Structure 1
């Protein structure tokens, strides 16, 4: 039996504003992670490989390895949160959750598709994300490709 999220009747499709707000919040977290990774990469290149300061970043392998590390870190960030509870920290702030169409947590395959299509959606001036405005069910290209949906959660009841 697959696990499902609670309160499925109380959620509604997320609009563009909330999605952009969550992306904005998450971009700061991801930037901090990228700064840490870049710092470690420079330290490894400088100290372990013994390169002079002017040689850091000059080789094609240095550039490619750093870019690969940054992409892997971004995927790991989103995969960890999406698979764990359906929400990144930015999505928690905006009360958003990504889930399957039947209300369950998304699979690793869906996570990979969401990440790849979501990144590609920025290429045509963000059209894949703006698609939420034109789709009747407020789905982005990443939602459509991965068979997922982003929903708004109700406010927590005050006690």
Structure 2
């Protein structure tokens, strides 16, 4: 349940980031070309730009701090199976495998419910796992 809530939290944050990225791209495009981003090549480039923004969100947080903002809120941390932090390559591999595991009705993600180590297919294939962090002690 913690994974799902963390993912929902992150999706809300990514939606906000995408709104800002859209506003910046739209203002820049209209200022430079006075055109429409919803037709032809500009549309394809705009969609690739937004996909890149999403990818960078996860790669940055997973590789630099081992936690996205949603994971911080739910005290989850992403590590390699050997306990080391993820590199950009590890994070990219995990993200790609996560998308692939979601394709067959999310079966790769649902697998974590039945796995002894609570690992989804993307966890096993990318050599990563989520760990639950202890609650901070009150002073």
User: Same fold judged by TM-score > 0.5?
Assistant: yes
Higher helix share: 2
Within 1, Cα distance between the matches of 2:83 and 2:2?
19
> Which residue of structure 2 aligns with residue 68 of structure 1?
48
Q: How does 1:83-122 map to 2 (within 5 A)?
A: 83-122=63-102
| Partner SS state of residue 131, structure 2 | strand
Q: Deviations over 1:80-137 (max 9, x none)?
A: 1111221111001111000011211012211111111112222222222111112111
Root-mean-square deviation (CA, aligned residues, Å) is: 1.4
> Which residue of structure 2 aligns with residue 23 of structure 1?
7
> Which residue of structure 1 aligns with residue 19 of structure 2?
35
Structure 2 counterpart of 1:123, from 99, 103, 110:
103
Structure 2: unaligned runs, 5 residues or longer: none
Structure 1: unaligned runs, 5 residues or longer: 1-16
Q: Deviations over 1:3-55 (max 9, x none)?
A: xxxxxxxxxxxxxx11111000001110011111112222233221122xxx4
Q: Which range moved further: 91-100 or 128-137? A: 128-137
Structure 1 counterpart of 2:38, from 57, 63, 77:
57
Within 2, Cα distance between the matches of 1:63 and 1:134?
41
Within 1, Cα distance between the matches of 2:120 and 2:101?
9
Structure 1 counterpart of 2:116, from 117, 129, 136:
136
Within 2, Cα distance between the matches of 1:72 and 1:65?
10
Rg: which structure is higher? 1
Higher relative contact order (CA 8 A, sep 6+): 1
Residue 77 of structure 2 contacts residue 133 of structure 2 at CA under 8 Å; is this kept in 1? yes
